[in-house]
Chain A
Amino acid sequence: MNRRLPAAVALVLMLALAALVALAPEHLSPIAQERAAAGPAALPPFGADGRGRPLLEYAAQGASVVALPALVAGLVVAAASIFGGVVRAMGLERLDPVISAASEVVGALPRMVVILVVALVLPREWRGLMPLALTWALLSAPGAMDEAAAVAERLGGARFVEALRAHGYSGARIFLVHIVGYNLRPVLVRQGAEVMSQVVFLEIGLSYLAASRQDPSFTHPDSLMSWADILYLGYTALAFREPYDHAAILGLGLLLLVSGFASAIGRAARAR
């Protein structure tokens, strides 16, 4: 299977996301009623909202809201995968019951309920996507560790490490190159990318629920717009025939961008 195409797609999509983050303004443009609900032809590239503010600014601010927390959550899960795989490869069997018990308890709880409880107890000044993203990552970590441990087990576990030591390889080469680089890479990249996309969807979900009831979001300050605001405009186009079809298409495109990135990077990292 050729991995270059998904790698190229992942790179392009990542650059598109990075460009959006770089474009994010601190504040939205002033209201310009003459451009209200303008389509992409009248106000390129994405058109405007009901107050004439460019949807490009919505998209860029939304990207800046999710970028760092999603990246950190992905890295946390990837690190957890490495830990799970390395523990199994080192033959530290005493840790297995602890990981299994953590996995059992964490897996027994509906994640969204845990997220809402965390959102509930956080002081207002701490509210933001980062603590929720970290919580999501911690909830996802046991599953990722299990999968990485299974890969290390199939590899031969401690016997694989012993065999490579017998060939004279250093510990760093065995663990960093052979175990993590060659064997765990597909798991940790896919798990990390999946959690990144889940964090983005979590932000969209929480912000959409808040926006649909005119409540402040848990995930970002009121001065910033989320991708959920674009989707909400799209919803009004579908449900009430408001003139925001361009917002519906943009929202769908952004979701595809995130899903596509997660899928492409996972395929690019697949084992040969």
Chain B
Amino acid sequence: MNRWWLRPLVRSAAALVLPVAVPFLCVLLLWALPGDPASIICPPETCSGTEELARRWNLDQGPTHYFLSWAGGVAQGEWGNSWRLMTGMGVRGLVEESVPNTLILLGLALIPVLVGSLLAALEVVGEKVDPALQLIGAVPGILLALIAAAWQTLTFGLDGEPTAGLLLGAAVLGLSDGVFSGAVIGTRSLFGGERRQRYVGVALLRGERIIENTLPNVAPAFIGQLRARTIQLLSGAVVIEVVLRIDGIGDLLWQATLVQDFGLVMPLVTAFSLISSALLLLQAVAEVGVALHVRRSPKLPGGAA
């Protein structure tokens, strides 16, 4: 393991590339399909003035020109306007209004996941509860969201109540689609496997605590699991936000997709990529921290060598 820095380096590089590569891939995908992009978004048979729209939306000079002009605008703080959903309205304001709600939803949904993982790591949650956990995890998010939406409508009326919506959404997001059960069972399996290693027995005989020995070794895998769960939550947030009418970027992305508002989808996809990048960077930093900690050979309690 001389090249311990390779994995965090690759993750950091991926984190830097992702917010640029993903929107660029979207643009390339649009151009790779048969027919020109303006005709796909605004078919001439149902939509008049396709050529004029192509000029206005910078779609008339190829994918690179479109992407560079869009990226240049973003770099100067000009994120462009919505094409269809809220025609002419600045995208930046819409995204800035939506991102906090999605982050709050994600943060709240992570609470049961983190608590469950902690209890599993400490072996407070035993294997006896696994069947019940798996049963909860097997419930699709859409079904739980639907029940939550019905309850919200019955309790608060059609307009709902934003705070209740966020709390309900977080509960649904955190429990459904195997997120909670996966976190608990995965963490227990990870820590349990490490606890069975021979060195842990030796450490116990030396009077050391188990967690101090196992944590540095399982931390990278644990952090990786946690990132995967967070990405899963981010993906599920799209459905939850729409069903429970939470004004987040998932809901905005859904609405923009329905009306093929590419001008709005590009910054939203970039926002999602930035969140993913932040998670990748966090994992890389944690991996570096763990590697440095292990290499510093922490002083053992009682002066044991």
Contact = CB atoms under 8 A, between A and B. Distances in A.
B33 A204 contact: no
Contacts of B253: 113, 116
A235 B22 contact: no
A110 B229 CA distance: 10
A107 B232 CA distance: 9
A118 B25 CA distance: 11
A263 B269 CA distance: 33
Contacts of B242: 209, 212
Given A120-B257, A123-B35, A208-B142, A110 B276 contact: yes
A172 interface: no
A116 B254 CA distance: 7
Given A117-B265, A235-B146, A104 B258 contact: no
Which interface residue of A108, A252, A259 has the most chain B CB atoms within 10 A? A108
A121 B40 contact: yes
A255 interface: yes
Which interface residue of B151, B269, B280 has the most chain A CB atoms within 10 A? B269
B20 to A, nearest CB: 13
Contacts of B142: 201, 204-205, 208, 231
B191 interface: no
Contacts of B150: 235, 238-239
Contact of B228 (A107, A210, A234): A107
Nearest to B15: A108
A208 B231 contact: no
Interface in A94-120: 101, 104-105, 107-113, 116-120
Interface stretch (B112-120, B122-130, B213-221, B233-241): B233-241
Contacts, number: 113
B110 interface: no
B75 interface: no
A157 to B, nearest CB: 20
A209 B154 contact: no
A179 B69 CA distance: 52
A101 B10 contact: yes
A75 B230 CA distance: 27
Interface in B250-304: 250, 253-254, 256-258, 260, 262, 265, 269, 272-273, 276-277, 279-280
B178 to A, nearest CB: 10
Nearest to B21: A105
Given A120-B262, A121-B26, A210-B258, A112 B146 contact: no
Contact of A110 (B35, B238, B260): B238
Given A101-B10, A231-B146, A116 B140 contact: no
Interface in A208-240: 208-210, 212-213, 215, 231, 234-235, 238-240
Contacts of B68: none
B140 A110 contact: no
Interface string B1-44: 00000000011001000100010001001100111000010010
A105 B141 CA distance: 25
Given A110-B272, A209-B242, A252 B29 contact: no
Contacts of B228: 107
A120 B260 CA distance: 6
Contacts of A123: 33-35, 40
Interface string B127-153: 000000000001011110011011101
16 contacts: A108-B231, A110-B231, A110-B232, A116-B265, A117-B269, A119-B257, A123-B34, A201-B140, A204-B140, A205-B141, A205-B142, A208-B243, A209-B243, A231-B146, A238-B146, A259-B140
Identify the 10 closest CB pairs spanning chains A and B, nearest first: A238-B150, A110-B235, A239-B150, A239-B153, A110-B234, A112-B238, A112-B235, A205-B142, A116-B257, A201-B140
Given A110-B276, A113-B234, A117-B269, 4 more contacts: A117-B26, A201-B140, A231-B142, A238-B146
